[in-house]
Chains A and B, each alone.
Chain A
């Protein structure tokens, strides 16, 4: 059964800095079906990245995804005030059919 482990649990950064979030899978992710979501307090998650590196509609290009197999990364090139939130990775296709990571909180330093 595939498990997604996100690190770090919390990332303390200042606006303008670069954020690098990691998502590691316990086995290879099927057909590169790996997505990233952003969630702010009291809101539903929002899709940022799908298929490892494709930005969803309306997502600014400071967000980028990369990786393959079992190691994936979400990078925010320059943090804007609205980017401070919790980020989740999610895989599709490996048993169980869908899994979310436990989340990484990006907080203002």
Chain B
């Protein structure tokens, strides 16, 4: 059974760095043409892709947020970590991690429940 779970702070202050962890089970982060991505959703708004990482450690970032994002994985811990620097109130959102797979056309086939992060002083 594939599961993903996000963890991290629920509240961060403006200018701080956000660190989110996605812990996965039911698949390996070393497994073939598979990977994990991060997506966020401000309250009442649309989904926005942030970054993803393949099992071979290939990484990609949103063009608009690239300078603020870093994605990495720890295969031994089955974790994918996203850091976002210089947080602002507009970054308040639910942050999701999700798995993608070549066999699903690289679409996000399994999602975590999401974690709401509020940016406020």
Q: A-side interface residues toward B, CB under 8 Å? A: 1, 32-33, 35, 37, 39, 44-47, 50-51, 54, 56-57, 88, 90, 92-93, 95-103
Contacts and interface: CB of A to CB of B under 8 A. Distances in A.
B121 interface: no
A97 B104 contact: no
Nearest to B6: A44
Given A100-B48, A100-B49, A44 B112 contact: yes
A11 B48 CA distance: 22
A56 B63 contact: no
Nearest to B63: A96
B47 A88 contact: yes
Contacts, number: 73
Given A95-B63, A98-B37, A98-B52, A45 B47 contact: yes
B109 interface: yes
Given A44-B114, A96-B62, A97-B60, A103 B46 contact: yes
A50 B37 contact: no
Contacts of B100: 92
Contacts of A57: 109
Residue of A32, A44, A47 ringed by the most chain B CB atoms within 10 A? A44
Question: What 3 A-B pairs come out closest when comparing CB atoms?
Answer: A51-B105, A35-B107, A50-B107
A37 to B, nearest CB: 8
A11 B63 CA distance: 31
Residue of A56, A92, A98, A102 ringed by the most chain B CB atoms within 10 A? A98
Interface string B32-61: 000001010000001111001000000010
Contacts of B98: 44
A33 B105 contact: yes
